[in-house]
Amino acid sequence: MIEIDKKDCKKLLTRRMLLAVVSSITLQFFLVCCLILFTNLSTDYVHWLQNTWRTVISLRMWIYLGILAAVISLQGVFCSKIYLHNPPYYKSRFAKLCATLTVQNLSLKASYIVMGGILTWSHLSLKGGMYSSLTADCSIIYGTCLVEEYYFLLFSGLWSGLYFSVKTNDSMKYFRFPIITQFKFFRLRQGIYAMLPNLMISSMWSAVYYMTIYYFLGSYCRAALLSMISIQTEVEPLDNMSRLLNLTLILHLWLHQFIFILTISSTYLLFEIYLTEWISFKFSSSGVYNGDASELTLIEALAMDKIPIIQHLGYLDLVTLAQKEKMRRGILFTLSQPGGHPYNWNCIVQKCIDLLKKFSSDFNAISMKPQEQQFCYSTNVLTTRIAPVRPAQKEHIYHMRKLVPDVTPVPSIEVDTKEAPYSGMFIQKFIKQKREAFVAYLLSKPLINYIFGEQDDNKIRYVLLNGQLVIWAAEAISSLSVFSLSEDSYGVVQKDVPNIINTLLSVKQVLDKLQKSAVLARKIQTDDKLTKEICTSLRSAIKRSLYRIITNFEPYVNDLSLESLTIEQLQSFLNYKE
């Protein structure tokens, strides 16, 4: 794996993150200006616009902008932690709970709470009016009285951060790339339009939950606050049903919940837009890896599985090259000089096939039953136990006839010294078997298995996180195979076409088996939209890739050196029945 500091990818990612932070600050400044314009609404249009302009150019506004920039920059740091590392795999519910209670995750949750409080406090300070201060002059009695609505709204900001941090899972971010390349503004507008209904409903439920909690616990909060500061109250408490159902207060509460969730979601959206923007990688001029080069090549980008966003950008550039850029395909199809070998093509097709095979093997491991795994384990242990005791007597070694007959060794004292390590290995394997049997017995209990057992649903979802890479790899190698018929003058691709067909067929068989399995059926019943979308896209992409190859290579099917079983599987594609 190529280190991030060794290549130009660190500079690329830093620049894109900085642009995302600046764009997010600009967007939030625009949203705040719109909020001020909305809250100062008046029939006197001249006075309305003057008040809005004075608020925008005031010192409070620029202080707020500085605080907002610091908050969004902090969120950018957390986004970099999420998007630049592979998502963790939680084997069980207990492992997920332990991951939730780590210092890093708790710090992230705490930052959301602080950000919610800061944003609400800034909005209340900028808007002015009756909810802009904690205290006010009493109208009936002499002195200073508590404005309970202020800290009610201020605490709602903290609650919005807590609600958002509990509801979302930041460690399992999925890279969503656009199907059609668009400008950033259009992607931002489309993304905000798409998520507005969900954000409005989510903020509404957050406001309902907060009002319910305050109705039962508001008296304790008020008593604690009055005990710390010497102020008094002259109106009815806010935790009363008649005052809590104030339409103006409910509107302000919902608006602050919505603004916070929109701020967080739009920041993530901008990071996604900038990080998933297509970039053109270069090929190595010599065709081999050059450790001193400072520029990241396409082959190196495809190998960066430890930095998933770079690997995604590499496969995105590969599928773009394969389908749209004839000049770069010509570079891929050329031979290296000196040597005359297709280094670039060999590396690329090997990376794609390895990715497809790993995807198939991961799903085969998921679909394998625990009894089969236990049987395979027992067979391997039995083989290792029997092999040292009775070695196989063969007449020929390495296809050569023995000229010296085997002589039975004479027993000596050294036999005991050689059996001692084997006895130690036997004891270790025996203890390991007993431990695994005890763990299997514990996991057979429903409650223990619910907490500590491994979930097939999580395994499926985790493997499907690389579904986009699999789609691009299949599309790229199939498109390159088809274009090689007219553009590959050296014939560097034709030798790999049988391997490509066999690999795509194995992925198709795995997806068909998964589609019919009870695990995925149960997953679909849970209405997991992301899992269904990825599975549907995967099956469509694999079938499309196979159709693309078979349709164009149909006159040469008998010349591809395919096995008879493979040709039988291709008949449904040749007859267009898939």
Residue 87's pLDDT is 77
Q: 439 near 398, Cβ under 8 Å? A: no
Query: Whole-angstrom Cα distance, residue 245 to residue 207?
Result: 12
pLDDT, residue 179, reads 80
Provide the token pair at 431.
């203890």
**Phi (first) and psi of residue 386, to 5 degrees:** -80, -35
Which residues partner with 137 through β-bridges?
144
Q: How far apart are CA 501 and CA 549, in angstroms?
A: 8
Residue 222 predicted with pLDDT over 60: yes
Residue 423 has what pLDDT?
65
Overall average pLDDT of the 453-462 stretch: 78
Q: Model confidence at 294, in pLDDT bands (50, 70, 90)?
A: low
Dump pLDDT digits (tens) for 405-450.
444 444 444 444 444 455 678 888 888 888 888 888 888 888 888 8
Cis previous bond, 338, omega within 30: yes
Measured CA to CA in angstroms, residue 321 lies from 113, 175, 296, 328, 342 at distances of 44, 20, 16, 6, 17
Alpha carbon of 148 to those of 114, 215, 433: distances in Å? 21, 13, 65
Is the pLDDT confidence value at 106 over 50?
Answer: yes
Instruction: Specify the DSSP class assigned to residue 400.
Output: E
d(CA 518, CA 132) in angstroms, rounded, equals 57
pLDDT class of 293 with cuts at 50, 70, 90:
low
| pLDDT at residue number 170 | 61
Whether the predicted pLDDT of 165 surpasses 90: no
* Least confident piece of the model among 135-139, 301-305, 317-321: 135-139
| Three state DSSP letters for 13-29 | HHHHHHHHHHHHHHHHH
Whole-angstrom distance, CA of residue 167 vs CA of residue 1: 35
Query: 307: Cβ–Cβ under 8 A, 6 or more apart, which residues?
Result: 4, 9, 84, 85
CA–CA distance, 532 with 475 (Å, rounded to integer) = 20
Q: In 3D, which of 460, 444, 468 has the Cα closest to residue 522?
A: 460
For the CA atoms of 122, 126, 132, 134, the dihedral, rounded to the nearest 10 degrees, stands at 40
Longest alpha-carbon distance in the chain: 117
Rounded to 5 degrees, φ, ψ at 348 are -70, -45
What per-residue confidence (pLDDT) applies to 358?
A: 93
Asked if 265 contacts 79 with a C-beta cutoff of 8 angstroms, the reply is: no
Map out the domains of the chain as residue ranges.
9-275, 328-367+457-574
pLDDT tens per residue, range 194-216: 999 999 999 999 999 999 998 89
Amino acid at residue number 200: M
Neighbours of 416 (CB within 10 A): 10
